[in-house]
Structure 1
């Protein structure tokens, strides 16, 4: 076959990268038949349950915004499954009242957990009526701070929700004794009730709730009057269902009333122990702070009758002495929180001889003896040593000294393990508050800082680092250095923290020397100025000391008192 002639081939043909099909093979189609390829609608193809689950990750505020996209989104955003829990306390100030009422109206039948804390918009009677009409399946409700709620509206809301288990009416002025009567008649499942600071309520209303709600375990009635009534106290004794009782600020509470709550009226007495023969109380948490009429005669009735007690608060019951607390400490093996703030009659003997050797000593986690001006080293040293589970100790305005801080560092050192991983940040395992303790000096503070940043170098093993440090609140003139040191330790900058602690110690020592009279006064002052400048530089340093440093002209403002 003869070869083809290439002379008639154009340059455009040679430049083409692909060859076209022959005309007999190519079939032309009319433009009307050409259709655009449809994209796959992924959202519509998802099951309804999956789409609702996706919306469930949005917060209420985000759901409201997403509902404006289109009608389909609006339908999903107000699906009842997404509104079983409605907490408006985070965004109520940023949403119009009508929109909030619309949300409650749409989602009301599905809401089980409602929190309207501080929602002033809902207090209008029309919007409140919407709330009553829509919400009839509530299990828990919080109306804290809704001061202008109407009596009738509140009562209707309670009547229409007979499955309530948790009800918070703190500071609601509409709450009266008649409200408590409605609660006792319509809420048989109620377990938690908070009516603190309801100024139109007294203890007679509390009695109706205690008698009418057999499942009530948590009652909080701070600053409610009328607890001097023996009949009210007798109701508490006979039911014996409460596990948490908060009566802080109930200034009417007397020794006779508290004793009746624990012992009842005219109980049989054991001849050998001289203790009343009554069933033990189920109380686990008891708050009697600021009940100023209580004395030893009433408080010691708690002894040997509250074996399940875990938390006890007796702050500012200024008449109490060691006599009232000794039987309580000896008979509460599960006690973990003990607050004895502002009890001037408490002595070191109570702490060293009773608390340090009590059955609860290994479990005790929180202790507050602030403003107990008779407490000092001899009382708290045994407590710090024996109570190895302590997480916080408030000791401001007491007579403690540096020895307590040293013992605290030793206690933490003995109870925790160390890690060879220098990148594992430690946690604050013990918090100490030592404001206005005149006997605490900078050397005691430095002992805490030294432990927090301590790196142990073994002869044959790798260096180890602390896994638990001590958080310290001390005299305000030292707090800036303490906070800076703690921040470096929590960032695993142990070298920088140790350098700051060392420079601060040199500065404090030079400052003390500069204040002393005698020979070499000028030289000591010069050393103090140099240490002050070094300390100011060090506080501004970063990792490895290469961070931004403060100006030396500001060193005078960093003087540590």
Structure 2
């Protein structure tokens, strides 16, 4: 683009050579590939280019995150008036100064919006969702993460006016309860992604509504939803057979029953995050591995599971080497397992690394605070997987009680191997 900006191309009378040689349609096509910053710069070159750069057709996708986050509401209003019905995707992530009034004007002007990110726009309330419901029926993706004033009323409004919704992120909107989830899923049957991280009031009944009404669900994040139990998650497994990604890290009440339910009902699962689920044992992971191996061998299709599966088993303190052996022994694991996190799994030893050495696609392994893992074991793993990234640390040996009295705290040195 900078090649166009040579001095010979412009004169004081605004008759640039490029404007004479190229038709407006072609210039508009060129401008359509530019980002927000470059478009704004081009708008300052000449009056002709100002008209071209600010043409609504060039402003179908706008992301202000890397451009300017301290914008005021009037900027959003001006953008909406300029873009109008052309705008399809807008990210205002982190724009703390944008509130309900500006977004009402935006919704009225940009009725074809399909993707909207308001992540971290902490000033907005249920009023914004009422505006989106009233004016933006084509909305498919909406990110309201960390908008802590959002309540069940927002979900009810979205369910009434945005039936095409496919992905909703309300992480850390901790006022949301089962009533809001029920209203949402009953009227938005096409939901594929639901991100509920930090929605601490959600209980099993909310998951039962999801399992009953979201057959298209592909991704579900329930991190730190500490009240949910096996009962709610089993309903998800039975109703959401297309599930590919599940995060239940920090859900301390779940047990091995979930792993068995996933194995029986969710053959497309690729990513499973279960950090700090301290009740999980080898029995559950053995069951999960056996089911997927059986599916891959006898049902005539390639199972995606174990490709990034078990991305996080951190703080699963009952997992032993035998559980890792089961996970690493399947045919899918050899070519699909990419990341495994075993932080704070105290029963894991070097034997687990031996079980993983045939997983040729393994790219990274986390071993922080696995005190039975040794440098020698990691070195042996590297002879089979030379490119693997191993994150671990080793602490000085703690003196026995007879030497130092009571067990003492020690400083750990974090190293990247």
TM category (shorter chain) comes to 0.7 to 0.9
TM-score for both structures, normalised by structure 1: 0.62
Which residue, 12, 16, 20 being the options, matches 1:44? 20
Question: Is the 8 Å Cα contact of residues 204 and 232 (structure 1) preserved in structure 2?
Answer: no
Distance 1:229 1:94 in 2: 39
Cα displacement (A) at 1:475: 4.7
Asked whether 1:371 is paired with 2:350, we answer no
Cα displacement (A) at 1:164: 1.5
Which residue, 187, 196, 216 being the options, matches 2:171? 196
1:317-332 superposed matches below 5 A: 317-332=277-292
Asked whether 1:107 is paired with 2:65, we answer no
Look up the match of 1:294. 254
Question: Is the 8 Å Cα contact of residues 87 and 115 (structure 1) preserved in structure 2?
Answer: yes
Look up the match of 2:151. 176
CA gap of 1:348–1:201, structure 2 versus 1, over 3 A, is: same
Aligned Cα RMSD in Å? 2.5
Question: Is the 8 Å Cα contact of residues 107 and 136 (structure 2) preserved in structure 1?
Answer: no
Cα displacement (A) at 1:263: 4.5
Look up the match of 1:74. 50
Most deviating of 147-156 and 247-256 = 147-156
Look up the match of 1:453. none
Distance 1:437 1:369 in 2: 17
Asked whether 1:335 is paired with 2:306, we answer yes
Distance 1:154 1:235 in 2: 21
Distance 2:395 2:136 in 1: 53
> Unaligned regions of 5+ residues in structure 1, if any?
1-38, 265-279, 414-428, 440-473, 483-561
Query: Structure 1, residues 435-468: CA drift from partner, whole Å, max 9, x if none?
Result: 23669xxxxxxxxxxxxxxxxxxxxxxxxxxxxx
Which residue, 274, 299, 320 being the options, matches 1:347? 320
SS at match of 2:272: strand
Look up the match of 1:356. 328
Look up the match of 2:185. 210
Distance 2:16 2:148 in 1: 58
Look up the match of 2:140. 165
Size of the alignment, in residue pairs?
374
1:34-433 superposed matches below 5 A: 41-93=17-69, 98-123=74-99, 125-230=100-205, 232-237=207-212, 239-263=214-238, 281-332=241-292, 333=303, 334-337=305-308, 338=310, 339-352=312-325, 354-362=326-334, 363-383=336-356, 385-398=357-370, 399-412=372-385, 429-433=387-391
Query: Structure 1, residues 93-142: CA drift from partner, whole Å, max 9, x if none?
Result: 3656544532332113211001011112322x443332122211111111
CA gap of 1:129–1:191, structure 2 versus 1, over 3 A, is: closer
Question: Is the 8 Å Cα contact of residues 279 and 318 (structure 2) preserved in structure 1?
Answer: yes
Cα displacement (A) at 1:378: 1.3
SS at match of 2:226: coil
SS at match of 2:194: strand
Structure of higher CA gyration radius: 1
Cα displacement (A) at 1:311: 0.7
TM-score for both structures, normalised by structure 2: 0.82
SS at match of 1:114: strand
Question: Is the 8 Å Cα contact of residues 181 and 210 (structure 2) preserved in structure 1?
Answer: no
Distance 1:288 1:50 in 2: 50
Query: Structure 1, residues 60-106: CA drift from partner, whole Å, max 9, x if none?
Result: 12322332344322211111121000111112236565445323321
Most deviating of 225-234 and 109-118 = 225-234
Cα displacement (A) at 1:215: 1.4
Question: Is the 8 Å Cα contact of residues 145 and 171 (structure 1) preserved in structure 2?
Answer: yes
Question: Is the 8 Å Cα contact of residues 85 and 114 (structure 1) preserved in structure 2?
Answer: yes
Query: Structure 1, residues 16-47: CA drift from partner, whole Å, max 9, x if none?
Result: xxxxxxxxxxxxxxxxxxxxxxx983423311
Distance 1:148 1:292 in 2: 32
CA gap of 1:204–1:324, structure 2 versus 1, over 3 A, is: farther
Distance 1:309 1:82 in 2: 38
Distance 1:83 1:242 in 2: 31
Look up the match of 1:520. none
Cα displacement (A) at 1:226: 4.2
Look up the match of 2:299. none
Most deviating of 238-247 and 224-233 = 224-233
Taking CA–CA contacts closer than 8 Å with sequence separation of 6 or more, which of the two structures ends up with the larger relative contact order? 2
Question: Is the 8 Å Cα contact of residues 227 and 254 (structure 1) preserved in structure 2?
Answer: no
Asked whether 1:435 is paired with 2:398, we answer no
Question: Is the 8 Å Cα contact of residues 154 and 174 (structure 1) preserved in structure 2?
Answer: no
Question: Is the 8 Å Cα contact of residues 71 and 97 (structure 2) preserved in structure 1?
Answer: no
